[in-house]
Every structure is written in C-alpha cells, then in structure tokens.
Amino acid sequence: MKIIMLGAPGAGKGTQAKMISEKYGLPHVSTGDIFRANIKNGTELGKEAKKYMDAGQLVPDELTVKILLDRVAQDDCKNGYVLDGFPRTIPQAEVLDKALTELGDKVDFAINVDVPDENIINRMSGRRACVTCGATYHVVYAPTKVEGICDKCGSELILRDDDKPETVKARLEVYHKQTQPLIEYYDKKGVLKEVDGTVDMNEVFNSIVSILA
Ligand code: AP5
Ligand code: MG
C-alpha cells in the first residue's frame, strides 16, 4: 500500500503517518525528517536544506526528488510506504508518478488532513520533536512522560527552528501556493481522501483507518 499524507504545516501529517506506520507495518518516509537528520549530522545536504527550511521555503525539487527516490528504492519500501511531506509541488508528484508507472505501480491513497490556518500557529508553538526517532509531541495535546525527553527512544527533544510564528506564516503561504494544488491533482486521479484534522488525534486516526480498511 502506498499512501501520501497531504495537509498544511502542522496539520498532523507526521503524527498520523507514524500511527499508520505502526498499525500497518509500513515505513514512514518524511522528507522533512530526512533533512533534519542531515542538519543534525552536519552533512552538505543538511547545510543546503537548512537555508531554505529556516526561511520557510521549499528545498529545491532537484535535491528533494533524488533523496526521495533513493529512499523508496530501499528494500523496506518494497511492499509500500507512507509518504509524509512529499510530494509538495506538482513537479514532485509527476516525478513520483513516473517512477511508479515504470514499476507498474501507483499511489493508492492521498489523504488530506484538513486543518484551517487559524489552528496551526497554536499547534506549532507547543510542538516538540525528536530528531533521533522522528516522534512528535505537543506540550498540551501530546505530552511526554518526562518533560523534554522522547518517550520512545529517550533522546532530548527539540523545538524546531522553523516553528517560530513568522516562519510558520511563511510556510503557510508557501503551502497554499505550491502544495495545495496537489489536492486537485490527486482528486483527478481518484485517490484523494479527506479527513477532518481539527478533532482529537485518535479520532483523526480512526477516520483514516476506516478509509484504509
Ligand atoms: P516538514 O517537516 O514536512 O514540515 P511541514 O509540512 O511544515 O509539516 P510539519 O512537520 O510542520 O507538520 P505535520 O503536519 O507533520 O504536523 P505534526 O504531526 O508534527 O518540512 C519542513 C521543511 O522541510 C519544509 O518547510 C521545507 O523547507 C522542507 N521540505 C520537506 N519536504 C519537502 C519537499 N518535499 N519539497 C521541498 N521542501 C521540503 O503536528 C503538529 C503539532 O500538532 C504536533 O505538536 C502534534 O503533537 C500536534 N497535533 C497533531 N495532531 C493533532 C490533533 N489532532 N489535535 C491537536 N494537536 C495535534
Ligand atoms: Mg511533520
């Protein structure tokens, strides 16, 4: 099963992708997490990506597409995956479709987690992220057992550099301009599913499970 998570920054793509990954045994592939791991490790890719991420802009397609195609060509992705944060532009979606078509394959579901902009800023300021295992928390909505420490792997949590309110606003603008058109793109392909992302995260997950079942 090949699933794409669509939605604004902070809509809960990562939260839901992790839950899907655990329930269905599919790898969770997040381009944002891949970039953050590279930044943490000080790689050239990380240095390049950070310039764009800190400004709330998209990392150029040439860089992003290569990383994603390499990742989904790995063995653990043979039976499917959940893509979180990719594609983010129409050209990225076209590259993915072309690569899948060459393998006689296709995207099964594009799930749009719908959350209005008004709810987003509040969510981002309370978010805490684990760069080691990719887990995501929220100080109010999804707190850890020990403050600042990841429940799953024990690493220290970070506040993402791009979660400052000014940067979140820039990311929302970029989202509406460059990523939102993907909703129509996948609707035309007949694989779009919409869920209300404003309700409790377990309720959002139940809606997704009833779509995938
Ligand atoms: P990326 O890491 O993908 O960031 P994003 O799309 O902006 O999305 P977020 O990770 O911020 O939000 P999310 O939807 O995953 O929400 P989450 O589950 O954390 O990308 C970062 C940057 O990398 C981009 O800006 C770009 O520069 C670059 N990049 C990445 N991919 C790229 C690509 N393909 N092309 C080009 N550039 C790319 O939830 C948010 C918070 O809310 C959490 O604290 C969570 O606990 C809480 N929460 C979740 N669900 C609920 C709920 N139902 N109720 C209450 N709280 C909730
Ligand atoms: Mg995320």
Residue 213 has a pLDDT of 86
Residue 155 has a pLDDT of 96
Query: 2-115+177-212 architecture in CATH?
Result: 3-Layer(aba) Sandwich (3.40)
Residue 146 has a pLDDT of 97
Cα 10 to averaged position of ligand 1 atoms, centre (Å) = 5
CA distance 173 to 9: 10
Residue of 18, 57, 58, 144 to test ligand 1 pocket, by largest number of atoms within 8 Å of CB: 58
Q: Is residue 88 within 8 Å of residue 179, measured between CB atoms?
A: yes
- What secondary structure letter does DSSP report for 111? E
Does residue 123 carry a catalytic annotation?
A: no
Joined together, the tokens standing for residue 154 give: 């024990």
**Domain locations in the chain?**
2-115+177-212
CB-CB neighbours of 145 under 10 Å: 7
The model's pTM is 0.96
Residue 122 has a pLDDT of 86
CA distance 183 to 189: 10
Rg (CA), the chain: 16
Consecutive 10-residue averages of pLDDT for the chain (213 residues): 98 97 97 96 97 97 96 96 98 97 96 95 91 93 97 95 92 98 98 98 98 94
Residue 153 has a pLDDT of 97
Does residue 128 carry a catalytic annotation?
A: no
